[in-house]
Structure 1
Amino acid sequence: MNEYKVKGLTCANCTRELQDEINKLPSGESASLSYNTGKLKVDRSVDINKVKKILSSDGAFIEDGNDDHHDHQHQSGINWIALLSISALFYVAGFITENFLNEYIAIGMFLAATVLSGYQTFLKGLKNLSKFKFNIETLMTIALIGALGIGEWKEGALVAILFGLNEYLEGLGMQKARKSMEKLLEIAPKEATVIENNEERIVSISSLGVDHIVLVRAGEKIPSDGIVIEGKSSVNEAAITGEAMPVEKAINEPVFGGSINNEGILKIKITKAYEDSSLAKILHLVEEAQETKTPTELFINKFAKYYTPLIMIIAAFVMLIPPLLLDGSWGDWFYQGLAVLIVGCPCALVLSSPIAIVSGITKNARNGILIKGGVFLEQLGKVTTIAFDKTGTLTKGEPYVEDYIEYHPGFLQIAASIEKNSTHPIAKAIIKKAKGLSYLPVEELKTVTGSGLVAQIEGVTYFLGNESHMKDFTFQQNVMEQIEQYKERGMTIVILATDEDALGIMGISDEIREESINVIKNLHAAGIQHTVMLTGDHEKTAEKVAGKVGVKSYFASLLPDQKVAKIKELSNREKVAMVGDGINDAPALATADLGIAMGKGTDSAIETADIVLMQNHLGKLPNAIKSAKKVNSIIKLNIALALGLKLIALLLTIPGLLTLWIAILSDMGATILVTLISLTVLYEKK
């Protein structure tokens, strides 16, 4: 498929019609033209000259990448404003002339205003009429011809000016949403400083490869994912995670392309070519997300196809029935019928969804929340239940010593000395707890698989491990009671003992994330009715974590297939989102109505779920849900406004009060309101 940037798309409905024409070309069935992104995708075998001809019929053109087209587009915008301004002056002059000078001069002024502001619409409408293609330009052309035919020069001119202004404002609204998205896409670095043979060389980002060594100075963007091999600095990763707080980086620590080096100089070994980097994948997915159609948009587009012909039938009834059956005036009801035709413009209706969707996706992407399509944004706003994996999601997935009791003053020092060379997560927790204490020399060390260690220090044999490691030991009553207490509190037990007695006991837990409690509270406040925790851990641990973070229910001792079964069960009754780390929870994420992964840019997180929280925590999930709910509410409001204003205008035909300018104002008012309301998504507080 070839991809082109298209300028000059005037409205969502017109874009859909242009795509329909391109789809009729040989091999053009798979072509797509997106009003949201202004991008055209066509099969390589399609005759591009024929595509250009179709686009030019609506004033659109393919941008060739140089500055000329940009200037042309910019100039075109200025000319359009100038034409409308001159038309308005002619209209005012005609209005004054009609009342104080000569009626025929006034007609000339009104005609000039009509031609200047309406000639493009008129020419398109005539072309469409010759092909029996009925869209807004066709309706406007018929209405203008009819108005001028019955001597309504003043109203015809006003309709042409207002319609031109409406088209301009409609394009302006979508342009604002597009520019917001383009600004987001500009975070991609353009060049990199590569070090080869101790010499620096500037290369384009596309030529950067794996194992290249790059130099990143203070204030520069890191060109692609890599590992720091020299230097130390703080890095702003907001482009990836949405988090504004800088992250300290030193040798052997990973960095993301697109993040900014705050100070110092870093030498980085590139681990991924730019197109495979986290940033490139994010930007690609965000672009793709704009082009997906939500169920609401698909319904609106289908409805718009039948809406215009229906309006034409209603207009015909308005023109014919009252004069034929109710002794009405042919002139008056013909005029009313023309006004009904103008009400038939579906632009505001078609525009009710895309600007809000693009704004929602852009706002969340800026905030470190990657939503892979409008359909998922819409789904997020409808979710009533959220199921969480425990380990690594509500908890940090890192064991820590929650509590300990020592029966011997050297308990922590001895335990840390035995574990000092181990990489086991529980060993790391013990070493962390004993930080600051010196290590004792270990003379012998033996591992007992699955239960613990046997070590000799200063001639004494020590046993460190779980209960099964101590199965042949008989401890005092108070020690046994303490073990049971820790187990009741959902902790994993680690005991240090000699062959004579216990020296101390540790209760190890998976540390709960600081933000988890507030996240659950904020989710309930945001309208989530049911929060559920799914875990493979045993009942006591699950009960403890669930109680601390505030989830409404939990299910423990679940295998991966049992998690999937539980998600299916919940989905039968509710709209369910599953939140996991994007690695271990892939089956459950795929089964839920909506899969939400967290993973700070990891490939698996980006590829697994429908929504990715680029931070390594859940902190911004409540805001994402609020934003999605707002987008859904705005779309409903927009549809109600678009149809409501038109319905009011149509009802004015019953007493015969509908005029051409009221008809165009009803459409123009709907378009302006729909656009402005949709853009509020971009500027709402986080």
Structure 2
Amino acid sequence: MAVPNDRLQDRAPGVAEKPGQSGNSPDPVRPPEHVYRLANVSCADCAAKFEDKVKRAPGVLDARVLFGSSQLIVVGQPLSVDELERLGAFDNIKVVAGTDAAAPEVCGRGDPGAGRAPWWAEPRVGRAAMALLLIVAAHVLQGSGAAPVTSTAAYAAAVLLGGWGTFKKGIPGIFRLDFHMNALMTVSVAGAMAIGYWSEAATVAFLFGVSEALENHAMDRARRSIRSLAEMAPTRAMVRREGKEMILPVEAIRIGDVMIVRPGEKIALDGRVIRGRTEVNQAAITGESLPVAKEAGDAVFAGSLNHSGAIEVEVTTRAEDSTLARVIALVEKAEAERAPTQEFVNRFARIYTPAVTVLAVGMALIPPLVWGAAWQPSIYEALALLMVACPCALVVSTPLAVVTAMGVAARNGVLIKGGIHLENIGHLRAMAFDKTGTLTLGEPVVTDVVGLQNMTEEDILRVAAGIERYSEHPLAGAILRAAADRGLTPGEVEDFESFPGRGARGTVGGAEYWIGSPPWFKERGVDLAAVDHRIRGFQEEGKTLVLLGRRDTVTALIALADRVRPSAREVVANLKMAGIGPTVLLTGDNQATARAIGRTVGVDEVRAGLLPEDKVRAVSELRQWYGRVGMVGDGVNDAPALVAATTGIAMGTSGTDLALEAADVALMNDDLSKVPFAVHLGRVTLRIIQQNIFIALFMKTAALLLAFPGWLTLWLAIVGDMGATLLVTANSLRLLRVRLSS
């Protein structure tokens, strides 16, 4: 299964590719990508080492381990399960559900974390508890004056029980000279026992076992934020096939089958309602808090909850192609587009571990050999330093926060396509908006009807609706709706003729009428001097004018306006309060209408009369002036401008393939208020990542400084190392509390 991170194929000329943007090469031949689902991926540093090993495998062009979602992406030649598990044997990494992660796994079924026992019931926790009892018993034996061999035996048993899982993975690594976290810990514990520090060795083994169990539990909680998305869709559904009703697994349901969904049941697959009426909670897809009315002809999505009525739904997509499945796949794979911060941390970690390991070896050898210091204290201090050589806290600082944030965003109907885009949206300095369908509802309505030659409003709408009935222009639909709302029947039209982009003509009731824009009437030589002030007045109010008239006169003015979204003004105000400025309206509409909409919503700047390439130039100019610029559009018509922006945000994209692929951030419904939410989430994530990096570096630096005067003990080293990892993990989980109202 290919990772769905392709970008728009047709980029506007001169638009530079964004960092992290991929898949736009004109060469249609792309290396195949293979996705594997992994188990036992609990250590970020070990995951990075596993990634490096896979990259060096024959036939592999590139590889990415997605630590947050426990997946591996291999570009190039696919690897067998046996080969991958051999490469991951140092940390007991396993491949689950076969070679390529098939659709059921993408949708969450078969997830390695599903059905796992509570963390406190795992065998390693039980072994750690027994190790603690043995450590206490050893201390009691030492204090009671018992023979030293008895306390030593108790400590040795505690080491074996507490460090069993570590030693199983660490000893093979030592023989291969592969000094990952478990190997470093094994060397430290074995060294402590060799120089007679049995109490410290047992304490370190116990603390490491407990810390690892807690870290895995915290990681599991973070991964559940993504896994919970998959659990929103049922695995079985009732289907009517060949006149019989049957319950089938979703994988066995075909396109065209009819699902029967009763009140209170979840919809298993995307489809179209063919019978019945109900209200559906589709928060799983769009993040909408209120149920949405559905009737025959309306689309419904997998994972939605049917509220009130029984409906029959014709299936339109397979399980693996449903909107929910694609959202889950995009969220899971989003970690592949790593943020610059994560790339920096990974590069730093590759240098840090070897450097500290060499320093520890030097600390063990140089003082005794050069200055004649005692061997035992030097080795002890070196072993303590070796424990802080593992960069787990630093490596996990970014991906865990990113995965948690993207899970939170997806549950609120905001799809962020990668860590780089999450970081970018947190850095935005300016925001550009399309007008139609973004700041406005995109549904023009008739606001004024003005008769000029004794024509009543009803006569005007009846004639206009009769002619516009044959037109496909959006304004024609608004005029037809206005006539229908007043209970008017469109007039019968003869001799109809359309002039695309300008207007139309036809004979109604024996009289010839023309309908179209003011510029078209001027082109035809009609004198508009008598109505010019009215036309300008309506345009200054942000309205669009349609003229109705005879061959050389104007008989009526029909004013239409696109309604501003109720939330638009508040959204712009919230963005300004967040420090984003300027806010800019980019539209192809006329200057007067654009200025009126701009005043209503409160944007700082209005640019009107823009073609798609003009919008691209405008966004590029904003990027030159302000650096990182967001663009909010409808995801299709504004695609070139979305690509040109640092962060392209597509509106109302549920079920729209092009928008899902083109945008960096996709709002799964038309809720504009989710733009400030996405910016807020991006900024909170950036703060947490910065805090995580500070925590990790502070703890490591403190340990290094304590090592030189000899103040770093083994138990303090393990507490500092694993404590940093647990603090970073817990800090990242704070993102789960971010809400749409934030």
TM-score (norm 2): 0.85
The 5-angstrom pairing of residues 82-231 of structure 1 reads 82-102=126-146, 103-231=148-276
Are the structure 2 counterparts of residues 119 and 507 from structure 1 closer, same or farther at C-alpha, using a change threshold of 3 Å? same
For residues 27-75 of structure 1, the C-alpha deviation after alignment (integer angstroms, 9 at most, x for no partner) is 4555554332223456776343343344344233334599999899649
* Equivalent in the alignment of 1:8: 40
Match among 51, 54, 65 for residue 84 of structure 2: 51
For residues 88-146 of structure 1, the C-alpha deviation after alignment (integer angstroms, 9 at most, x for no partner) is 11111212221223243222222221121123323433322222222222322222232
AA at the equivalent of 1:51: L
Q: Does 1:20 align with 2:52?
A: yes
Secondary structure of 1:652's counterpart equals: helix
CA contact (8 A) 2:450 2:457 kept: no
AA at the equivalent of 1:94: A
Secondary structure of 1:572's counterpart equals: helix
CA distance in 1 between partners of 2:211 and 2:376 (Å): 28
Are the structure 2 counterparts of residues 72 and 25 from structure 1 closer, same or farther at C-alpha, using a change threshold of 3 Å? farther
Are the structure 2 counterparts of residues 176 and 444 from structure 1 closer, same or farther at C-alpha, using a change threshold of 3 Å? closer
> Cα offset for 1:85?
0.6
Gaps of 5+ in 1: none
For residues 639-660 of structure 1, the C-alpha deviation after alignment (integer angstroms, 9 at most, x for no partner) is 1101101111211234322111
Q: Structure 1 residues 48-57 or 368-377, which shifts more? A: 48-57
Are the structure 2 counterparts of residues 427 and 71 from structure 1 closer, same or farther at C-alpha, using a change threshold of 3 Å? closer
Are the structure 2 counterparts of residues 153 and 399 from structure 1 closer, same or farther at C-alpha, using a change threshold of 3 Å? same
Secondary structure of 2:234's counterpart equals: coil
Q: Does 1:579 align with 2:628?
A: no
Q: Does 1:568 align with 2:620?
A: yes
* Equivalent in the alignment of 2:22: none
CA distance in 2 between partners of 1:67 and 1:394 (Å): 42
Q: Does 1:646 align with 2:707?
A: no
CA contact (8 A) 1:414 1:440 kept: no
Are the structure 2 counterparts of residues 571 and 38 from structure 1 closer, same or farther at C-alpha, using a change threshold of 3 Å? same
Match among 646, 656, 667 for residue 613 of structure 1: 667
Are the structure 2 counterparts of residues 160 and 675 from structure 1 closer, same or farther at C-alpha, using a change threshold of 3 Å? same
CA contact (8 A) 1:290 1:361 kept: no
> Cα offset for 1:345?
1.8
Match among 416, 421, 424 for residue 461 of structure 2: 416
CA contact (8 A) 1:37 1:291 kept: no
For residues 280-304 of structure 1, the C-alpha deviation after alignment (integer angstroms, 9 at most, x for no partner) is 3222212222444332222222222
CA distance in 2 between partners of 1:403 and 1:557 (Å): 24
* Equivalent in the alignment of 1:391: 436
AA at the equivalent of 1:208: I
Q: Does 1:437 align with 2:486?
A: yes
**Matched residues, number:** 684
AA at the equivalent of 2:427: K
Q: Structure 1 residues 174-183 or 426-435, which shifts more? A: 426-435
The 5-angstrom pairing of residues 364-383 of structure 1 reads 364-383=409-428
> Cα offset for 1:326?
6.2
AA at the equivalent of 1:559: L
AA at the equivalent of 2:124: W
* Equivalent in the alignment of 2:350: 305
CA distance in 2 between partners of 1:472 and 1:556 (Å): 27
Secondary structure of 1:420's counterpart equals: helix
CA distance in 2 between partners of 1:561 and 1:436 (Å): 39
Gaps of 5+ in 2: 1-32, 99-108
* Equivalent in the alignment of 1:362: 407
RMSD between aligned residues: 3.0
Are the structure 2 counterparts of residues 243 and 104 from structure 1 closer, same or farther at C-alpha, using a change threshold of 3 Å? same
* Equivalent in the alignment of 1:61: 94
Secondary structure of 2:635's counterpart equals: coil
Q: Does 1:536 align with 2:588?
A: yes
CA distance in 1 between partners of 2:397 and 2:529 (Å): 73
* Equivalent in the alignment of 1:592: 645
CA contact (8 A) 1:348 1:670 kept: yes
* Equivalent in the alignment of 2:388: 343
Are the structure 2 counterparts of residues 589 and 666 from structure 1 closer, same or farther at C-alpha, using a change threshold of 3 Å? same
Q: Structure 1 residues 570-579 or 198-207, which shifts more? A: 198-207
CA distance in 2 between partners of 1:62 and 1:603 (Å): 30
CA contact (8 A) 1:34 1:40 kept: yes
CA distance in 2 between partners of 1:556 and 1:436 (Å): 32
Secondary structure of 2:267's counterpart equals: coil
Are the structure 2 counterparts of residues 660 and 566 from structure 1 closer, same or farther at C-alpha, using a change threshold of 3 Å? same
CA distance in 2 between partners of 1:366 and 1:556 (Å): 36
Structure 1 vs Structure 2: percent identity of aligned residues? 37
Are the structure 2 counterparts of residues 68 and 564 from structure 1 closer, same or farther at C-alpha, using a change threshold of 3 Å? closer
AA at the equivalent of 1:572: Q
> Cα offset for 1:611?
1.4
Are the structure 2 counterparts of residues 6 and 436 from structure 1 closer, same or farther at C-alpha, using a change threshold of 3 Å? closer
CA contact (8 A) 2:195 2:376 kept: yes
TM-score (norm 1): 0.91
CA distance in 1 between partners of 2:114 and 2:268 (Å): 30
Q: Structure 1 residues 518-527 or 16-25, which shifts more? A: 16-25
CA distance in 1 between partners of 2:176 and 2:671 (Å): 57
Q: Structure 1 residues 631-640 or 21-30, which shifts more? A: 21-30
